[in-house]
């Protein structure tokens, strides 16, 4: 009956004291009052480059599996494998579960604390200390007791503490989403880099093949006495220089393969994902752009900063409540007897009821300055939140401008490639006909090589900046029912 009484009292007091919680009630910061990410107006599209222009669709929805816009089934396989095996993502998920369990544990403070105990002791007592004779007595004492206690959260200290735990859960939840977003972006970028390095290696091998043909022709001409030996040496030098470009490219390719294995949670020697070639990737033409008012509610890093701000706000309430008195109710009921056989008789019953109040009077300024420290902690979190928002908007703006400039760069590199390729064919024909010298051959070969590499790098950069835009906008996790949990 006593326990039922305390439970009823608990519910009544919680309802009554709900309005007594000290400290500020958290209010989410509003989004910046701007309509565009870039100065002036956001671009609507890029110029056509390599036969393709990209269009920016304001307010369009971003798919959670945004990488499917690159139209590569092999890419989907690699990402699914990485999401299932990435240790960093698994660690973030474990941290989320830990914070959820801490929150569940924190809710226990709102319930009476019930404990039970049993003691069996053998004692010796003396009546002399009570003013009687010095007769001593040795006896056994058996005690079976249940105690219940309840802390009245009059000023909301415990409610604010639980609120802080809830904010930590929110932080860890968005940490998982941010890790997921970073992981998917890194995988797509790594695969793009892999495919680009393979294309650069192919281009370098083609150029080296051309160099070897020219060296053979030059050697035949030297043996025929039509060109000096210096032309042979110059072409051999050019061949060696072009061959020297292959090892660094192959090293970079190996590094991307090792990185991809690590992202997928595998040892490089044990990982053999499907190979994604450059021809397997398609440039996304329509790019959705999140409204500025929605970005602060969708980017995981902004939501993480908001959760930290919420936790800091709750800590002000915890520190404020510590300045006020605390109240407790307690009770106990049990059985005590010198004989275990008589322990459960009515005459063995014992009970107690009590209440307590503890008020801080003087702590040398500790409680006051703890509250001031909590306020400054909130100010710090607020400044960090604002900086996170600024960085997010700047990242989107940078990426939009980068895509514009990528198209311009690729257009120029594409023109340079077609021009240098045509010039190389003409010089090769003239050299074989004897109307061009080896210096012209070397110059044309070098121009074509540089133009080919520049074209591939510009094309890869355009792909990777498209990935960067999806990541900068939050990746569309809110459109996946599984990720919103």
Q: Are 301 and 388 in contact (CB under 8 A)?
A: yes
Query: Using CB atoms within 10 A of its CB, is residue 219 exposed (0-12), middle (13-18) or buried (19+)?
Result: middle
CA–CA distance, 390 with 473 (Å, rounded to integer): 13
Q: Is residue 15 part of a domain?
A: no
Whether residue 474 lies inside any domain: the answer is yes
Q: What is the pLDDT of residue 68?
A: 94
Identify whether 471 is part of a domain. yes
Closest C-alpha to 164, from 17, 317, 13 = 317
Distance CA 417, CA 430 (A): 20
> Counting Cβ atoms within 10 Å, is residue 44 exposed (0-12), middle (13-18) or buried (19+)?
exposed
- Does a structural domain hold residue 147? no
Taking a C-beta distance cutoff of 8 angstroms, is the pair 281, 192 a contact?
Answer: yes
Between CA 321 and CA 315 the distance in angstroms is 10
268 in any annotated domain: yes
Query: Does 145 map to a domain?
Result: no
Residue 205: which CATH number? 1.20.1600.10
Count of structural domains within the chain: 1
Going through 290-376 in order, the beta strands assigned E by DSSP cover 326-337, 349-358
- The pLDDT assigned to 131 comes to 61
Cβ(47)–Cβ(405) below 8 Å: no
> In this predicted structure, what is the pLDDT of residue 207?
84
Per the domain annotation, does 119 fall within a domain?
Answer: no
Cα dist. 476→289, 356, 380 in Å? Answer: 11, 53, 29
Provide the pLDDT for residue 4. Answer: 46
Give dist(CA 73, CA 51) in Å, integer: 24
Segments forming the whole domain that contains residue 98: 22-114+154-323+369-479
pLDDT mean values, one per 10 residues, the chain (485 residues): 47 52 92 92 93 94 93 93 93 96 94 93 74 69 92 93 96 96 96 95 88 86 86 88 93 96 94 93 95 94 98 97 94 91 88 93 94 97 97 97 96 94 89 79 82 93 97 91 68
35: in domain: yes
331-350 burial, b at 16+ Cβ within 10 Å, e below that, comes to bbbbbebeeeeebeeeebee
Task: Give bridge partners of residue 352 from the DSSP assignment.
Answer: 332
């Amino acid at each position: 009956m006593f326990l039922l009484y305390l439970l009823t009292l608990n519910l009544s007091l919680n309802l009554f004291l709900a309005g007594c919680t000290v400290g500020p009630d958290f209010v989410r910061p509003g989004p910046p009052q701007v309509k565009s990410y870039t100065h002036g107006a956001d671009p609507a599209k890029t110029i056509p480059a390599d036969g393709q222009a990209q269009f920016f669709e304001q307010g369009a929805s971003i798919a959670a599996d945004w990488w499917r816009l690159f139209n590569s089934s092999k890419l989907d396989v690699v990402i699914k494998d990485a999401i299932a095996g990435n240790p960093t993502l698994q660690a973030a998920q474990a941290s989320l579960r830990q914070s959820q369990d801490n929150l569940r544990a924190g809710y226990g403070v709102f319930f009476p604390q019930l404990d039970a105990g049993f003691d069996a002791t053998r004692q010796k007592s003396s009546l002399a200390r009570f003013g009687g004779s010095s007769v001593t007595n040795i006896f056994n004492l058996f005690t079976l007791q249940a105690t219940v206690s309840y802390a009245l959260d009059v000023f909301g200290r415990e409610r604010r503490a639980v609120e802080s735990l809830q904010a930590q859960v929110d932080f860890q939840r968005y940490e998982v989403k941010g890790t997921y977003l970073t992981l998917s972006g890194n995988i797509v970028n790594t695969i793009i880099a892999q495919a680009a390095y393979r294309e650069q290696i192919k281009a370098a091998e083609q150029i080296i093949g051309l160099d070897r043909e020219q060296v053979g022709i030059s050697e035949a001409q030297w043996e025929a006495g039509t060109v000096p030996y210096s032309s042979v040496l110059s072409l051999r030098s050019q061949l060696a220089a072009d061959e020297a470009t292959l090892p660094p490219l192959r090293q970079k390719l190996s590094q991307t393969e090792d990185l991809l294995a690590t992202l997928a949670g595998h040892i490089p020697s044990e990982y053999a994902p499907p190979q994604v070639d450059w021809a397997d990737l398609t440039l996304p033409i329509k790019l959705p752009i999140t409204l500025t008012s929605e970005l602060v509610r969708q980017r995981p890093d902004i939501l993480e900063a908001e959760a930290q701000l919420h936790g800091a706000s709750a800590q002000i309430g915890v520190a404020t409540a510590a300045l006020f008195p605390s109240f407790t109710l307690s009770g106990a009921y049990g059985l005590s007897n010198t004989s275990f056989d008589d322990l459960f008789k009515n005459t063995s019953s014992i009970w107690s009821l009590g209440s307590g109040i503890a008020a801080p009077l003087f702590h040398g300024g500790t409680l006051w300055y703890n509250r001031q420290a909590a306020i400054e902690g909130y100010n710090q979190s607020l400044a960090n939140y604002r900086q996170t928002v600024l960085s997010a908007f700047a990242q989107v703006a940078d990426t939009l401008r980068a895509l514009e400039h990528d198209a311009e760069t690729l257009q120029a590199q594409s023109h340079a490639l077609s021009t240098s390729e045509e010039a190389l064919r003409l010089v090769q024909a003239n050299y074989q006909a004897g109307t061009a010298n080896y210096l012209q051959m070397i110059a044309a070969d070098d121009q074509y090589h540089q133009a080919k590499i520049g074209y591939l790098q510009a094309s890869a950069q355009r792909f990777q900046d498209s990935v960067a835009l999806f990541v900068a906008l939050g990746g569309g996790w809110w459109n996946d029912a599984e990720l919103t949990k």
